[in-house]
Amino acid sequence: MTDTRPGDDIAALIEAKVAAAVEQAVREAVDRLRWAPRVYGDERKLHVHPTAVVNDALFNLSSGEITVEEYAFFGHGVSVLTGTHDITVFDRARQVTVPKSGRDVVIGRGAWISTNALVLGPCRIGEHAVVAAGSVVLADVEPFTVVGGTPARVLSTISERPGGTA
């Protein structure tokens, strides 16, 4: 015969419920971190339309504002950076000499920024443009244009109405 005390069954039930709730909360927190963007700088300088999908992007707002317009979407690991450093100074000064503004980035309506692309401000990615995976964007991308490479260059253009609703 096992030696049980009154309430052991209730304690075990409560312990199991608490363990399940904690496990669920941890799983949800990890998912939020995995799929949430990372923001460096003043979050008030980041403007993401509610229809945009940015996944786990990194946004650096040190030197400007970033706007992501309607229906724009990102692959994973995209970085959009406004910050830069002054190469004419050295040591600690190089680390901390960062312009406060002037390097804004706008990602236009319906633009697709593919996985691991790097977008460096100042620039504008035009509406319905496509930035190929792994590309480095250093300048404006015209609307309905596909760019790729390092640095990104024009690969092709897209018909403005290829059966979609552009």
Q: Which CATH number is 120's domain given?
A: 2.160.10.10
Integer Rg of the chain from CA: 23
Report the C-alpha gap between 110 and 65 in whole angstroms. 19
H-helix segments, the chain: 8-35, 92-96
Q: What is the pLDDT of residue 12?
A: 85
- Judge whether 47 counts as a catalytic residue: no
Query: For the chain, how many residues are written?
Result: 166
26 lies in the same domain as 76? no
17 lies in the same domain as 59? no
Task: Look up the domain containing 19 and give its range.
Answer: 7-36
> Which of 47, 49, 76, 85 is labelled catalytic?
85
Greatest extent of the chain over all pairs of C-alpha atoms, in Å: 82
Q: Is residue 22 part of a domain?
A: yes
80 lies in the same domain as 131? yes
Q: Is residue 1 part of a domain?
A: no
Distances from the Cα of 125 to the Cαs of 73, 129, 142, in angstroms?
A: 12, 7, 7
Q: What is the DSSP string of 72-104?
A: -EE-TT-EEE-----TTS-THHHHH---SSS--
Q: What is the pLDDT of residue 24?
A: 86
Report the C-alpha gap between 151 and 132 in whole angstroms. 11
Q: Extract the residue ranges of the chain whose pLDDT is less than 50.
A: none
Q: What is the pLDDT of residue 46?
A: 97
Q: What is the pLDDT of residue 13?
A: 86
Is the pTM for the entire model greater than 0.85? Answer: no
Q: Which of 128, 138, 139, 113 is nearest to 58 (CA)?
A: 113
Q: Is residue 148 part of a domain?
A: yes
Q: What is the pLDDT of residue 9?
A: 84
28 lies in the same domain as 45? no
149 lies in the same domain as 130? yes
Q: What is the pLDDT of residue 39?
A: 94
Report the C-alpha gap between 162 and 144 in whole angstroms. 11
Number of structural domains in the chain: 2
50 lies in the same domain as 97? yes
